[in-house]
Amino acid sequence: MKILYDHQIFSLQICGGVSRYFFELMKQFSIAGELDYELALRYSNNSYLNSGSLGRYKTFFKSRDFRGKHRLMSILNRPQSEKLLSRQDFDIFHPTYYDTYFLKYIDDKPFVLTIHDMIHEIYPWYFPTEDRTSANKKLLAQKAARIIAVSENTKNDIVRFLGVDEEKITVIYHGTSLSKFPVNQRFELPVPQRYILFVGKRSRYKNFEFFIQAISPLLSEDKDLNVVCAGGKGFADFERCLFEELCLEDRIHRLEVGDEALAFLYRNALAFVFPSLYEGFGIPVLEALSCGCPAILSNTSALAEAGGEAVVYFDPKSEISIRKAVGDVIFNEDVRRNLRAKGFKQVERFSWKETAHRTAAVYRSIV
């Protein structure tokens, strides 16, 4: 059995949950030899692909940023996907995002669609009116042979918003990649001694500004306490204005780090806080737990499926709730010790090996 993956997400993302997911699937299939796959790709700057050898491709102006770069990369990559689709030398096609371009090339070959979240449907006002993600997703969900949802919460949202029969959907959780790095590994990173860790994008539904406002009294009271943001874009002007308004401009930091350094940040943080209004699953939750970092999460969407009883939850729309949850954890070593122990046990339920094994089972059920 041979699976064909296309270029889409590896043209769009340097790093992120969706490209991490497809990279880990291919990596596990390579290790286990469970099935054959091909990745249709000519150019990519994806950091996960750069760390492995899962296909032949070239980087694309890696050291230069310009408007339309990722769109141009996608345009240049698409002919390769179309070529391999037309060749029909595969059993199942698994698109890596929601562009419908492949429908005119696939003929009678089945395809599997992974739906990672329903953010575009739940928070449409966060996206441009011309954004086609929701419409494309709905069309592909109707035509797919099977749908993989990354959580029970996402499955329920798919049924609710797309009208798909739940029997067509298989829930397969993600894993984590950070536990493999040595615990005693050191990095020369410009990080303060005491910090709360925020990981990933900060815009829109990620709720970062509200989170900073909520914990600003804690930062004002404890002059040694900081916030470290790992990943995401550089701070925007409106963010810097907020920091200045709260007199916190020298207490909030951003670092661009790879996986090894990210594991170091998790292991040395007082806590990881995820104030997002919605997540399809929440890979950073598993990353934090696997690194022994106490996690404090929104009580929304799928985050409870990842965190279980090993984390502290708060209402992401309540400053009081956020501030209390964070304070209860970062100022109490006994609480943090208990959360670490529970976290290590919780994360044992998840692995990329199991993700790949169950995904292969979905492929076989179609063929």
Taking only the tens place, the pLDDT of each residue in 178-222 is: 877 767 667 778 899 999 999 999 999 999 999 999 999 999 999
Q: Could you read off the pLDDT of 115-148 as tens digits, one per residue?
A: 999 999 999 999 999 999 999 999 999 999 999 9
The DSSP element (H or E) to which 121 belongs, if any, is: helix 119-122
In the predicted structure, residue 62 carries a pLDDT above the cut 90: no
With a CB cutoff of 8 Å and minimum separation 6, the contacts of 87 are none
Which sequence spans correspond to the domains of the chain? 2-175+351-366, 194-347
Q: What confidence score (pLDDT) does residue 33 get? A: 86
**CATH dotted code for 2-175+351-366:** 3.40.50.2000
Neighbours of 309 (CB within 10 A): 9
**CATH dotted code for 194-347:** 3.40.50.2000
Q: Is the pTM of this model over 0.75?
A: yes
Q: With pLDDT > 90 as the criterion, what percentage of the chain qualifies?
A: 90
The three-point CA angle 75-11-266 to 5° equals: 165
Q: Could you read off the pLDDT of 273-330 as tens digits, one per residue?
A: 999 999 999 999 999 999 999 999 999 999 999 999 999 999 999 999 999 999 999 9
- Alpha carbons 149 and 146: distance in angstroms, whole number: 10
Cα four-point dihedral sign 242, 246, 248, 252: negative
Q: What confidence score (pLDDT) does residue 132 get? A: 96
**36-39/2-5 β-pairing:** parallel
Q: Distance from first CA to last CA of the chain, Å, rounded?
A: 8
Fold matches, 2-175+351-366 and 194-347: yes
